[in-house]
Amino acid sequence: MSDQKRLFLVDAYALIFRGYYAFIKNPRINSKGVDTSAIMGFMNSLLDVIKRERPDHLAVCFDKGGSADRVEMFEAYKANRDETPEAIKIAVPYIQDILKAMHIPIMVKEGFEADDVIGTLSKQAEKEGYKTFMVTPDKDFAQLVSENIFMYRPVFGGGYETWGIPEVQKKFEVKDPLQVIDFLGMMGDSSDNIPGLPGVGEKTAKKLLAEYGSMENLLANTHELKGKMKEKIEGAKELGLLSKKLATIMLDVPVTFHAKDFELDQPNLPKVTEIFQELEFRQLLANFEKTFATETSTETTSTSNKTEIQTTPKETASAGAGQFSLFGGDISTSKETETISEFTRKTVETTSHFYQSVSSGMATKLFIKNLMNQTSVCFDTETTDINPITAQLVGIAFSWEVGKGFYVPFPEHKDEAQALIEQLRPFFENEHIEKIGQNLKYDIKVLAKYNVEVKGKLFDTMLAHYLINPDMRHNMDVLAETYLNYTPISIEELIGKKGKNQLSMREVSLEKQTEYAVEDADVTLQLKEHFEKELGDANTKKLFDDIEIPLLRVLAAMELEGINLDEKFLNSLSAQLENDIKSLETKIYAEAGEEFNIASPKQLGDILFDKLKLVDKPKKTKTGQYATGEDILSYLAKDHDIIQHILDFRGLSKLKSTYVDALPTQVEPSTSRVHTDYMQTVAATGRLSSNNPNLQNIPIRTERGRQVRKAFIPRSKDYILLAADYSQIELRIIAALSKEETMINAFKNGEDIHASTASKVFNVPIGEITREQRSNAKTVNFGIIYGVSAFGLSNQTDLSRSESKELIDTYYLTYPKLRNFINEQIDFARENGYVQTVLGRRRYLNDINSRNAVVRGAAERNAVNAPIQGSAADIIKIAMIHIYEKLQAGNFKTKMLLQVHDELVFDVYKPELETIKTLVKTEMENAYALEVPLDVELGIGNDWLEAH
């Protein structure tokens, strides 16, 4: 490596955005509800760079006020960028504070972009003999690369690549990095809204550049081009020059490179610590300390330094005969043994614990005796499989005191395992011992397969956290890290990455099983203590005890029950679909004049819009492809036969692959039924979700799709399916919550609500409403639930924007209290930071006070929708619990099988039919008393379609 001094210039926004989107699927929300994804992402990158490269000099560059010059040149410049997400806006001041505390210079110049600042500084530094590395993923910077200026690009999945002259030459197929400007000018850049030359994409730009060398030369020689391209480019010479200017990074920003100021210094650690603690960046802080400690100090305790840490007695032991006293007596565990920095996350290695396996017959007896004396115990099953129906028990861990626990391994032999579980049965079936667990539904299902029922009070930490913070994830590792500052042993550490060589839990040594399993039980127990209090603070203890916990057993039962599927019928349906798809395929190929993959939106877009040119100015997706969504294509359907064929093709393919062909593969061989998995903790509004397979989105709208429902059948000839639907439950809820008498009365009188709305809004007698009027009224009614806008409404109907606005205005005149209700919800959210359902289920809305109108608007729609959707979810959950209890108490053969948000499906034993119909209707309609009656429609049939 050269001894030349090295300067790193960081493109702040590029890394902030990148960090933000890296967490987009799973945003980092801290306990105060702040989305810290962007800050976290940026700091990770920055530390990473420092750790890897140990720069001598470093600065971070920000944009300020956008580029005045570029906007002057081209008013659309960067105009159609999406609004900056709230998490990024709040990130910037935090990041700047951290940088200040780290003594890292922040470079900003009003009216200039970071690109320009970085460009100017790198050129200055180059003159002073520095090697400069521009830390950014943005390709535009390639134009600045020289012998002493490099791009330092984060690459996906970790790591960095350095682009010098050779890399740029290869990537862009240019001789000189400066030609990157011409390249970008020609092909344009949709994210920066650089228009580029029409009809020129990446491929053509490279070709033209190879031939002409520059934009100017190309434009001077357009006579050599031919065909359409010639016309297009000749007509866009000015646009070409403008595009090149827009793509050029400025090198004359009034900033100066002072080497001394840019030297990388030791940070102000207390200050950084303070900010990180506020943000709850525990791991990052540890990482930070390590990054800056290793070069100056050897005193810092490192987690890898095990000899130092293991001053703690490690007491994973095995209980043979002679150690019985351990079970009853007190084990003194020293609390003062944590030698590590308070900011490093604790692990099983660094925390005093007493985890013991219980194998011998005598030990087991004594252990159980002690177990039965407890009033509250956390347990966790370890199995061979994530599918509880096929899973075999490998062991069960128990813990009732923090830091302590026992592990009972299970023999592989079926009868022996059953014999062991029989010994434990009195514990599980004891009504007076509280059972604590993380995702108890799983454990309950596993134990049910051994014929063991889990009775008594339950506390599920996953459910608890779902109520405390529904927008976060709820897996145990995350919870332990967030609330206990503790990193549990990862399952991957134990059994390896999934795929090829993954072990089964049974292949893991008993010591490791014990450590892992008991740790889980121990951690879960500690989480419970944490969450119990928080449930009280959020006023959701009742929701937890009366709804979610009882529902857990109901769902477990429904999932274990499964539903019968007519596979033969689906197979014949599949053959028919295959036929129809084939013939559509033939037609489409003929109409397109070539064969291509119709299922590829990319290829399809090229055929439709490049080859057939069905539209003058096709819409593009955010990734630059032609948009070929249903909404776009259906506009074109009446003009071109191929479009309808494509839509039909797509519809049938989806049907076949997702339902007709997939469902039979999901039939569980041991039961010959399909068992969906209801997720109780994913939907932020309180709804359930269903997967493997998803039985909540079985088609119903189209004739063809509806056929799939014929495949869901009763368990036998003695049974019949009953479908019970809440009619218009969400509208009834909004009517009741808003106390809008006009709407309440319409429901009380049993009117068709959409017709009734149409009659009032359009001022026509109810008998004279046109189909269209009713349909528009229906759209507005639904729109209200989602938080209407005139824009959205006109997209959904044939109405123009102004007609839509008028309709919405009249609607609010008809139902004035609805508007009040909406405003009240938004006001409540602004004041309290959350909205809630009839049962007090909360949804936190961090963006409700955002200065950004788009972001705030989204939060406002959530503020309206969440209480409605969530209250409906609350109500059907109550009904499910009541119905389940009655079915149990009455010893009915009838089983509840499915829940589809406002519908319940039952497998009814025919002799019980009349009783069940009354029971179900009564329980559903009276689950929760509103000022509006709830109405349930019943349908019966020999398949799910017929039952509707």
Partner DNA sequence: CTAACGACATA
Partner DNA sequence: GTATGTCGTTAGC
**Subset of 498-517 contacting DNA (CB under 7 A):** 498-499
Q: Which is nearer to DNA, 258 or 619 (CB)?
A: 619
**Residue 688 beta carbon to DNA: minimum distance, rounded to whole angstroms:** 9
**Residue 485 beta carbon to DNA: minimum distance, rounded to whole angstroms:** 26
Q: Which is nearer to DNA, 156 or 593 (CB)?
A: 156
Coil, helix or strand at residue 166: helix
**Residue 903 beta carbon to DNA: minimum distance, rounded to whole angstroms:** 6
**Residue 259 beta carbon to DNA: minimum distance, rounded to whole angstroms:** 34
**Residue 288 beta carbon to DNA: minimum distance, rounded to whole angstroms:** 25
Hunting for tokens 């290695």 — which residue is that? 349
Residues 608-627 that bind DNA (CB under 7 A): 621-623, 625, 627
> Is 800 exposed, middle or buried (CB count within 10 Å of its CB: 0-12, 13-18, 19+)?
exposed
> Is 580 exposed, middle or buried (CB count within 10 Å of its CB: 0-12, 13-18, 19+)?
middle
Q: Which is nearer to DNA, 24 or 73 (CB)?
A: 24
Q: Strands 149-154 and 131-135: what pairing?
A: parallel
Q: How many CB atoms lie within 10 A of CB 158?
A: 7
Residues 835-864 that bind DNA (CB under 7 A): 858, 861-862
- The kind and range of the H/E element at 674 are strand 673-674
Amino acid identity at 553: R
Residue 79 as a binder of DNA (CB under 7 A): the answer is no
Name the phi and psi angles at 668, rounded to 5: -80, 120
Return the residue of 27, 111, 496, 601 that touches DNA, per CB under 7 A.
601
Residue 668 as a binder of DNA (CB under 7 A): the answer is no
> Is 512 exposed, middle or buried (CB count within 10 Å of its CB: 0-12, 13-18, 19+)?
middle
Number of residues written out for the chain: 948
Residue 137 as a binder of DNA (CB under 7 A): the answer is no
Could you give the string, one character per residue 760-799, with x where binding to DNA holds by CB under 7 A and - elsewhere? Answer: -------------------xx-xx--xxxx-xxx-xx---
Q: Which is nearer to DNA, 299 or 631 (CB)?
A: 631
Could you give the string, one character per residue 799-838, with x where binding to DNA holds by CB under 7 A and - elsewhere? Answer: ----------------------------------------
Q: Which is nearer to DNA, 335 or 497 (CB)?
A: 497
**Residue 730 beta carbon to DNA: minimum distance, rounded to whole angstroms:** 8
Q: Which DSSP letter does residue 129 get?
A: T
What whole-number distance in Å separates Cα of residue 59 and Cα of residue 373?
A: 63
Could you give the string, one character per residue 471-490, with x where binding to DNA holds by CB under 7 A and - elsewhere? Answer: --------------------
Residue 353 as a binder of DNA (CB under 7 A): the answer is no
Cα distances (Å, whole numbers) of residue 364 to 318, 411, 782? 12, 13, 60
Residue 628 as a binder of DNA (CB under 7 A): the answer is yes
Return the residue of 647, 755, 913, 938 that touches DNA, per CB under 7 A.
647
Coil, helix or strand at residue 575: helix
Residue 76 as a binder of DNA (CB under 7 A): the answer is no
Q: What is the number of alpha carbons within 13 Å of residue 63 lying toward its C-beta?
A: 11
Q: Which is nearer to DNA, 374 or 603 (CB)?
A: 603
Q: Which is nearer to DNA, 639 or 768 (CB)?
A: 639
Return the residue of 251, 419, 662, 764 that touches DNA, per CB under 7 A.
662
b/e map 715-729, b = 16+ CB within 10 Å = beeebbbbbbbbebb
Residues 693-732 that bind DNA (CB under 7 A): 693-694, 696-702, 705
User: What's 721-771 look like in SS3?
Assistant: EEEEEECCHHHHHHHHHHCCHHHHHHHHCCCCHHHHHHHHHCCCCHHHCCH
**Residue 459 beta carbon to DNA: minimum distance, rounded to whole angstroms:** 24
Bridge partners of 401?
Answer: 404
Judged by CB under 7 A, how many residues of this single chain contact DNA? 73
Q: Which residue in 148, 227, 213 sits closest to 179, CA to CA?
A: 213
Q: Which two tokens stand for residue 48?
A: 């990473």
Residue 96 as a binder of DNA (CB under 7 A): the answer is no
Q: Which is nearer to DNA, 339 or 697 (CB)?
A: 697
Residue 654 as a binder of DNA (CB under 7 A): the answer is yes
Residues 20-59 that bind DNA (CB under 7 A): 25
Residue 644 as a binder of DNA (CB under 7 A): the answer is no
Q: Which is nearer to DNA, 316 or 689 (CB)?
A: 689
For helices 549-561 and 853-889, the axis angle rounded to 10 degrees is 70
**Residue 370 beta carbon to DNA: minimum distance, rounded to whole angstroms:** 40
Return the residue of 140, 443, 515, 902 that touches DNA, per CB under 7 A.
902
What whole-number distance in Å separates Cα of residue 645 and Cα of residue 291?
A: 60
